[in-house]
Structure formats: C-alpha cells, structure tokens
Amino acid sequence: MVLENKRASHLPKHVAIIMDGNGRWASKRLLPREAGHYAGMKSVRETVRAACDLGLENLTLFAFSSENWKRPKTEVGVLMGLLRAYFRSDMDELAGRNVRMRIIGHRSRVASDIQKLIEESEKRTLTNTGMNLTIAFDYGGQEEIVAAARELARAAADGRIDPETITTELFAARLFTSALPSPDLVIRTSGEHRLSNFLLWQSAYAELLFLDTLWPDFDRAALEGALAQFDGRERRFGALDSEAVA
C-alpha cells in the first residue's frame, strides 16, 4: 500500500498508540518479557520514521502507564533503560527530522538522569516545526484530569476564576496535551479492547482502532493500514451524516 501521495487532509491530525503485546510476543517465542520490550523499541523507531515520512503532524506513544510501576522491578528497570537509551541514541536523528519532543506524565517519579534527558530533548527540539512526538511515560489519564480539576478548584477557591466561566477549553488548557490537537485516531495493538487510562479526556471523539497485531510486529505497513482504515471511517461528532442532512 502506498500512502506517500495521500492528501494531507485525509491523514488524521493526531495518532495516539497504546503499544500493547510485548510480553505476549516474547512468551510466544519462549523469551523473557524483556525481549518483547526490546523488540517493541524497534517498532517505536520504525513507526516514528514512517509517521515522519508520511507527514503526520502529531504522534503520541503510550510507553509506561502509572500502573506499570506494579510490574516486577527488573521489568520496570528495562523500560526505564529503554527510555534512557532512546533519548541518548535517537535524539540526533529526531532533531535532524525536525521532530519536536514532548514527554507527558509524572516525570518527578523517574530517575533524575532521565528527567535531565527529558528536559534536554524538549529544550533541544523546542523550535522544531516538524512532527510533534509525544511519549506518555508514567502517565495516567484519570490523574491528569484530577490534577486539572484540582488546579481549577484552587483558582476558584482563591477567587482567581469564576466557576461559571469554566469551559471545556479552559479545562483542556490545564492538561499535559494543551499544545496538541485531540487525537483523531487511537490505535491499540494486541487484541485488547480498552483505553487503559490513556488520553481519556482527549479521546472523546477519537476513532478507536483495535488491532490483533502484537506491538513488536507493528511496522510501517501496519501504520499505513491503520491510516487507510481511518480514511474509510465517517466522523460525525454527534451530528447527522452528510446524506441525512442533505
């Protein structure tokens, strides 16, 4: 499938991916779960490159949820190591591709050297105008919404805002994703049909695409296939379809 000439208007503005199935990919090969995460990293690289080549404006990847801390220490360590390695080894390429990096989540809970790498990568790519690549790491959608609500409640209690003036826009401006458009396509790999606390507010009108592919098997062709499926869907945002209106 060739999507190179696809008109930009048919591409989703923002694709968000729940990268699931690394563990099962490894188990199927009688490998330790960690091997699945290493293989998943290859898919991250291929997907990011493909998204850049296709001219996608926003790509968000769910790499570590707030709940993932409950996994065995060694597995958490591997995931932290992969994030560290990604910043160390891929930043030159990403910056060269004009990618702007953002990390969303509780960054205060990750090791200080990783925090530093995150800050450096965000600073280095701050003025880049190509694809926005957002990595959700130690991220949880409910916590994000509660933090925004708490901030607004505090402002109202202090008399800095009138509660009557709180709108969806004002609320969204307090979320990690305030600078990004809402995802219009959320993909989850590995056959699970759940959002698992990912971009809950932001996905209100997103098209959801659940693929059986395990994340380490996700590649350029899989991304193109997902974009083609999005292209075939009709989005109504609560209104009637165009035929019913005509």
Question: Interface residues with ligand FPP (CB under 6 A)?
Answer: 19-24, 37, 40-41, 44, 61, 63, 68, 79, 82-83, 86, 135, 190, 215
Catalytic residue among 53, 68, 128, 217, which?
68
Q: Which residues contact 171 (CB under 8 A, 6 or more apart)?
A: 148, 149, 152, 201
Catalytic residue among 20, 90, 138, 184, which?
20
Identity of the residue, 163 or 191, whose beta carbon is nearer to ligand FPP in the bound complex? 191
Least distance to ligand FPP, CB of residue 127, Å: 22
Q: What is the chain's Cα-based Rg?
A: 19
Identity of the residue, 20 or 152, whose beta carbon is nearer to ligand FPP in the bound complex? 20
Identity of the residue, 215 or 230, whose beta carbon is nearer to ligand FPP in the bound complex? 215
Cβ contact 97:52 at 8 Å: yes
Least distance to ligand FPP, CB of residue 115, Å: 15
Give the CB-side neighbour count of residue 180, counting CA atoms within 13 A. 30
Q: 5 catalytic, yes or no?
A: no
Q: 231 catalytic, yes or no?
A: no
Cβ contact 3:50 at 8 Å: no
Nearest CA among 94, 28, 29, 42 for reference residue 215: 42
Least distance to ligand FPP, CB of residue 85, Å: 8
CA distance 148 to 174: 5
Least distance to ligand FPP, CB of residue 114, Å: 10
* DSSP, res 10: G
Least distance to ligand FPP, CB of residue 135, Å: 5
Identity of the residue, 160 or 193, whose beta carbon is nearer to ligand FPP in the bound complex? 193
DSSP state letters, 178-218: TTSPPPSEEEE-TT----TTSSTTTTTT-EEEE--S-GGG-
What residues are paired with 210 via a beta bridge? Answer: 188
Identity of the residue, 177 or 190, whose beta carbon is nearer to ligand FPP in the bound complex? 190
- Which residues are designated catalytic? 20, 68
